[in-house]
Structure 1
């Protein structure tokens, strides 16, 4: 494919997985500029970002309207969100700058999770029953009227399973509300409203996409195996790549594409989490941004895959390449089988040794591990899906061998034979589930 001209691209809040996008865009010749949507990064992102792929740092200019006044003089081709906290700001800025973005009128539906699910209901798509509450009494009253358990209490606009709690009684609803109302989101914003939703029973899946002018492309899809911690929430255990040619993948694709249309996602990336219920697929939520957790190009390449970030970079820099791909198919092609395995810390403590990680090299399907923690790192009880501790990739032609190695890693992790942690507190019971 022919090379396109150099393009000027602004990444808003280039934290987390945006490091992959910045790398991929830079490798394709983009002039990158970083822009913050807030005066200071929230604590979770204060470690900063690698600025080496960027041509310039615009810092924090102010509102989207103020930022538009600056970038209109910069010949900007695209404005994209680097992570969840930058989604609304980036879309408003792109709209003002006249660059491709999602539908302006549905911006609230893409960050406000209550409005998101309401938009699906209006389109006739299966999704959870829900209510919006401003205090625990409202939550308890709705739970009493609804009468079906379990229920889910979650913040309105956070990320990474932050303060998402599965409740099986009114007392647990109260406790979940008190905990969430007394906390800030991962983006350092107070929780003033919460959502209470019906529990969607079934296996959980992830569908990642890249869209251009309303045409969607499924870049990858995964079965998510999770852990349920009593009194807390769901924690990632591992992901298994789906066969894109399977009937399951086709059903998930069809539903997800309909959901993207309902939410006005027509340009850029989306990360959708779904449950396969007895009535079919139902959306948990969609983020109009890249997938988080783990997206490591070398291990993807070993499995014959491109990351969602690479597809996105191609769509921005070499649209003719993505147009050709879309003309042939609406989904990725799989080479080898691949799984991502994550750690779960059993309590608060300090890592005393990482020598146990060498055990991974004895597994026949082991490919790589990324973002490990050094000895001396303070860790906390894992209660979210941030992937703290690193991501282990297993790649092989034999899925049964991958399954065996996944189970071995889980046994080692639970026995403390990978990270050696001196725990100060520990949870006594963790239940593995596929939900």
Structure 2
């Protein structure tokens, strides 16, 4: 048993201790959560010291009678014990798993000046929480069972927390929904946030934050490709205690794995990082796990394309050509003939996608014809929770094969195959080595069952405009659940496996344009009719008179979102249909411009929308 040695005849340190006691007015007892929220503890275990996370260890103190003989390895305590009948005071360092170790000291009387001084200074009391904090020149020191030269101070947790560095979470590329998460962590959870920018995010995109979601970061770090150790060192140099790393945007997926591993916090590791960005490797891992997977081929040359076309083909012919890494529907084409496959491959290879990555390889896949869904999940220590199922509404529009018209938040009992779909996605996450974090998985329901399109290893995109809808329906969203899975294990455990008990029902409707050029007029009457719908909740509009508008062909060129919420699902569906009827009649008028490709700046500034979902 380690002991706390009391120096004899050391008046000067005790004078400092006496002065310190004036700083500790009587305070109410702290709850466990309050007391462990912002400080690492030092526990004594196996003869050494060990740093623990804030919730891992606390200290309780209580007086007790003891034998008159002190421990033989503590001369100061023996000297005290020889002089008078001692009272043994003890302190227990505990953890969530139980007692770790007791430390003790001796005092000649329960009412001695020394005892009173200690109790006044440190508020020692039964079942009170304390910290052992590393310090210098203190009047008390742990015995030699701990490393020599170390002294420790007993400090009530609320005092120590006030002087400790704040707890922080790193968000890699905090744009789109990542910015919404950062805002939530700061304003609703009380954490600091450190922004780490990956090397592919342009400066202008760093300001792409939804209205009202601005955050003052505790620090900003610009990552340089291949310099993960330097980035980790820069994060450590900020005066915060980093407890987790969360990916805010698709561009930060690989860096999120690398940085969390380098900082020694919760991580999926880098061993399987390739699977979390490369869609081809993802599908092959799913197939290897014995799960439904689509037929595919990776094409680098035209010979690869020809080999793909020799495979059995559906009638009528359909195939998908898309980037290996991407977001939303950027660069994705549905081909209705073999020649279209060849043409789309040539048009895509070597180009830069919306993430700023060069499409060196092109993915050729079978066309999946079933309904498309998104399964949003959060995971902690390998336990997966589904926090939302969204059913996509994609239609052909402006000669584009699938344009987002909207999506519906689905109750699990709405369709008989949804439970099996969620279980399928959980097994997919296991096959990709995902144990923690937020995932956004796209899946189609085929006659053979659910088939994965892709797993995006970050939160649902689209600037998080869907989060208020989810909260109105079930009381939480993927944003709050993400914060739970990283920072609040009890709240994570309380989340149901799938959303249940819907109080409302919700749909997101995309506004679309059939004109392009400079916007000259908006049909305000139609917008007023949309706002008058019984299910209308909120809107996010991305157009303005005098600004350029594009024909809607994908998520990047959408003109905004309308959120619909209603306790009556029938009314919700009716309002959704009415909205699209109004939009289909035309809302925008534009003066034409010479045909041209949308500017790079548009693609950059709407990257978050390309994460749609």
Alignment partner of 1:58 is 2:214: no
Q: Which residue of 1 aligns with 2:148?
A: none
Counterpart of 1:161 (choices 320, 324, 329) is 329
SS at 1:309 equivalent: helix
Counterpart of 1:207 (choices 371, 375, 391) is 375
Alignment partner of 1:71 is 2:239: no
Alignment partner of 1:187 is 2:355: yes
Alignment partner of 1:345 is 2:507: no
Q: Which residue of 1 aligns with 2:44?
A: none
Alignment partner of 1:14 is 2:177: no
Map 1:109-188 → 2, pairs under 5 A: 109-148=275-314, 149-188=317-356
Answer with 121-130 or 172-181: which moved more. Answer: 172-181
Alignment partner of 1:234 is 2:402: yes
Alignment partner of 1:316 is 2:486: yes
Per-residue displacement from partner, 1:135-187 (whole Å, max 9, x unpaired)?
A: 34422431233433311000010111111001111121122112212521111
> Cα–Cα, structure 1 residues 228 and 380, in superposed 2: closer, same or farther, change >3 Å?
same
Distance 2:463 2:287 in 1: 31
SS at 2:304 equivalent: helix
Is the Cα–Cα contact under 8 Å of residues 103 and 266 in structure 1 kept in the other structure? Answer: no
Counterpart of 2:573 (choices 378, 381, 403) is 403
Question: What's the offset of the Cα at 1:378?
Answer: 1.3
Per-residue displacement from partner, 1:55-111 (whole Å, max 9, x unpaired)?
A: 222234552232123224453211111111100111111011111121431100010
SS at 1:105 equivalent: coil
Q: Which residue of 2 aligns with 1:274?
A: 443
> Cα–Cα, structure 1 residues 317 and 145, in superposed 2: closer, same or farther, change >3 Å?
closer
Q: Which residue of 1 aligns with 2:186?
A: 26
Distance 1:367 1:171 in 2: 46
Answer with 397-406 or 367-376: which moved more. Answer: 367-376
Question: What's the offset of the Cα at 1:261?
Answer: 0.6
Question: What's the offset of the Cα at 1:403?
Answer: 1.4
Counterpart of 1:368 (choices 538, 546, 556) is 538
Is the Cα–Cα contact under 8 Å of residues 64 and 92 in structure 1 kept in the other structure? Answer: yes
Counterpart of 1:104 (choices 266, 270, 277) is 270
Q: Normalising by the residue count of structure 1, what TM-score does the alignment of the two structures yield? A: 0.90
Per-residue displacement from partner, 1:295-352 (whole Å, max 9, x unpaired)?
A: 3344433334422011111222322211233xxx312232211111112322532322
> Cα–Cα, structure 1 residues 241 and 424, in superposed 2: closer, same or farther, change >3 Å?
same
Counterpart of 1:330 (choices 494, 497, 518) is 497
Answer with 263-272 or 379-388: which moved more. Answer: 379-388
Answer with 147-156 or 288-297: which moved more. Answer: 288-297
> Cα–Cα, structure 1 residues 371 and 34, in superposed 2: closer, same or farther, change >3 Å?
farther
Counterpart of 1:358 (choices 507, 510, 528) is 528
Per-residue displacement from partner, 1:380-423 (whole Å, max 9, x unpaired)?
A: 23232347322111111221211111111112212213x44445
Question: What's the offset of the Cα at 1:283?
Answer: 0.6
> Cα–Cα, structure 1 residues 47 and 241, in superposed 2: closer, same or farther, change >3 Å?
same
SS at 1:57 equivalent: strand
Is the Cα–Cα contact under 8 Å of residues 111 and 287 in structure 1 kept in the other structure? Answer: yes
Distance 2:308 2:397 in 1: 24
Distance 1:153 1:89 in 2: 27
Distance 1:364 1:330 in 2: 31
Is the Cα–Cα contact under 8 Å of residues 208 and 269 in structure 1 kept in the other structure? Answer: yes
SS at 1:100 equivalent: coil
Higher RCO (CA < 8 A, seq sep 6+):
1
Distance 2:221 2:481 in 1: 26
* Structure 2 residue runs without a partner (length 5+): 1-31, 39-165, 596-613
SS at 1:303 equivalent: helix
Is the Cα–Cα contact under 8 Å of residues 518 and 547 in structure 2 kept in the other structure? Answer: yes
Which of 1 and 2 has greater Rg? 2
Q: Normalising by the residue count of structure 2, what TM-score does the alignment of the two structures yield? A: 0.65
Is the Cα–Cα contact under 8 Å of residues 294 and 387 in structure 1 kept in the other structure? Answer: no
SS at 1:260 equivalent: helix
Distance 2:179 2:401 in 1: 28
Question: What's the offset of the Cα at 1:243?
Answer: 1.0
Distance 2:311 2:497 in 1: 43
> Cα–Cα, structure 1 residues 408 and 421, in superposed 2: closer, same or farther, change >3 Å?
farther
Per-residue displacement from partner, 1:22-60 (whole Å, max 9, x unpaired)?
A: 1111121111011111165277x3654465242222234
Answer with 130-139 or 14-23: which moved more. Answer: 130-139
Distance 1:91 1:163 in 2: 26
* Structure 1 residue runs without a partner (length 5+): 427-435
> Cα–Cα, structure 1 residues 79 and 292, in superposed 2: closer, same or farther, change >3 Å?
same
